[in-house]
Amino acid sequence: MSADVETQPVAEVEESAALTRTEAAARKVRSGSKFRRWWRRRPMRRSLVLTHRWTSLVLGLFLIAETTSGAIVLYNAEFFHATHGSFYQHTTSAHPITAQTALETVRKAHPEFGAAWVSSDNGVFAIGDEAYEHVYGVDPGSGRITGLADLNGGPMGFLVNLHDCGLGCKGYPGYVPFLGATMEGLGINWLATVTWGEFILFVLGLLMVLLAISGLITWWPGFRRFWQGWRVRTKKGRFARDYDLHNIIGMIALPFLFMWGLTGAAIYVQPVANVWLTITGGHAIDESRFDFAPHKVPKGTPDIGVDAAVRVALQHYPGRLAYLTTPEKLTPGYYSVSIAGSSYSAYEYRAFYSGDTTVMVDSHDPKNVKVVDTKGEPLSNVFYDKVFEARHFGWLVNPWWRIIWFVLGLAPLALAVTALSTWLFRHGNKKRRRHAKKAAAAT
């Protein structure tokens, strides 16, 4: 008896201590998951879910049209090459003609054409007009004009107009005059030169960024269950399968969707790029970087010519001639020479307008030169100019690698299909529950 009396308090103490430890562990679990429960239940996460859902529903068709057309336009240059075989027929020669000779050949044969730029593409010289609507091909080996081509016509021209201009590019199929008008009447300086079509694309770009961010936050399963977010429950019914597919497709395409949205918006409104560069450690883009002041010379001073301008440009930046504008119309008083670098070119596969470094040469003074490049710029600016923005178009990789761009460009279409499937399933369940309640009330 005495032993029992003595040991009973000890047992009670041990039991009390065990309960205390259990309660402490429970409190720790509860406190550890407090933020998680708040995030899942509080209005912040709910608002992001609703933002993601309604942005997708309201603008889904516009985003699908933009991204799907962009996926096809990725192969615009290859499509042009394939459909203009005779244009690119050329011969080899030990003494090929120069760019200046090719320009003079077209001007002599077609003085009404108004040749304004020269390009080197796929083995031939391309001589284009001021409006960027038509182009003549010239064989460097024989000096023969290979043909005239329309740059903007046909179904591909319509897709370019839709994707690049929001149907606001004059001279392209599907042009809508209202969408081609500028917004200068609103009195907002940074929108004065932006057309209504471009403004629509700018808004779509920002919304794509919003969809990417909200999609990541609403999908995020946590570090412990991260890999569970990549499974597809094929045996749990249509809803679970399509829900998982929607999440996985979105996560795979998210880096590209974010990049496309940000760079797409920045193409039309430069402050977007400046904000991104400032956040990532760079500085705002110099708006005067393409300003150039040719020297005033006496009337009758001879022009240095295309070939001399190309030689001067290559002395300042080694590589090859990609694209050149003449001083008569497009760049008055100077030649603008675009050069594809000898080791790396972000716009290698851009057809007529390739090259990623611009050298401006005074048409009368070859010593008056300006090189527009990112040399000496912060890493963020270099990355944005040479890699990030170029990734938008896929021009930095060959057509085979660009298949990745094409597939991911179709991701919004797949996301729309899976989202519609899950929504229809939920809607059907709600409808069946309402019918079941009515039937139960009736009985």
- Does 354 lie in the same domain as 291? yes
- Does 105 lie in the same domain as 26? no
Q: Could you identify the residue written with the tokens 């499937």?
A: 421
| Res 121: pLDDT | 92
Domain that holds residue 113: 80-150
Q: Residue 20 class from Cβ within 10 Å (0-12 exposed, 13-18 middle, 19+ buried)?
A: exposed
| Res 311: pLDDT | 96
Residue 408 lies in a domain: no
Residue 187 lies in a domain: no
Q: What's the pTM?
A: 0.79
Residue 24 lies in a domain: yes
Among 308, 343, 373, which residue terminates a domain? 373
Taking the alpha carbons at both ends of the chain, their separation in whole angstroms is 67
Whether 100 and 144 have beta carbons less than 8 Å apart is answered as no
The distance between the two most distant Cα atoms of the chain, rounded to a whole number of Å, is: 128
User: CB-based contacts of 288: which residues, under 8 Å, 6+ apart?
Assistant: none
Residue 321 lies in a domain: yes
Structural domain count, the chain: 3
| Res 142: pLDDT | 94
For residue 61, what are its two tokens?
A: 């068709």
For residue 362, what are its two tokens?
A: 């005074």
Residue 365 lies in a domain: yes
| Res 164: pLDDT | 93
- Sign of the C-alpha dihedral, residues 421, 162, 215, 54? negative
Q: Where are the beta strands (DSSP E) in 296-408?
A: 319-325, 334-341, 357-362, 369-372
Residue 304 lies in a domain: yes
Residue 431 lies in a domain: no
Among 373, 400, 429, which residue terminates a domain? 373
What one-letter code names the amino acid at 66?
E
Q: Where are the beta strands (DSSP E) in 285-437?
A: 319-325, 334-341, 357-362, 369-372
Among 328, 350, 373, which residue terminates a domain? 373
Tell me the CATH number at 117: 3.10.450.40
- Does 369 lie in the same domain as 290? yes
- Does 369 lie in the same domain as 295? yes
| Res 37: pLDDT | 57
Residue 252 lies in a domain: no
Show pLDDT as tens, one digit a residue, over the chain (443 residues). Answer: 444 444 445 444 444 544 455 555 455 545 555 555 554 555 555 666 666 666 666 667 888 888 899 999 999 999 999 999 999 999 999 899 999 999 999 999 999 999 999 999 999 999 999 999 999 999 999 999 999 999 999 999 999 999 999 999 998 999 999 999 998 767 777 788 899 999 999 988 988 888 888 778 777 776 677 777 788 888 888 888 888 888 888 888 889 989 999 999 999 998 999 999 999 999 999 888 889 999 988 888 899 999 999 999 999 999 999 999 999 889 999 999 999 876 677 788 888 998 889 999 999 999 999 999 888 889 999 999 888 988 899 888 889 999 999 999 998 888 888 888 888 888 788 888 888 888 888 87
| Res 34: pLDDT | 58
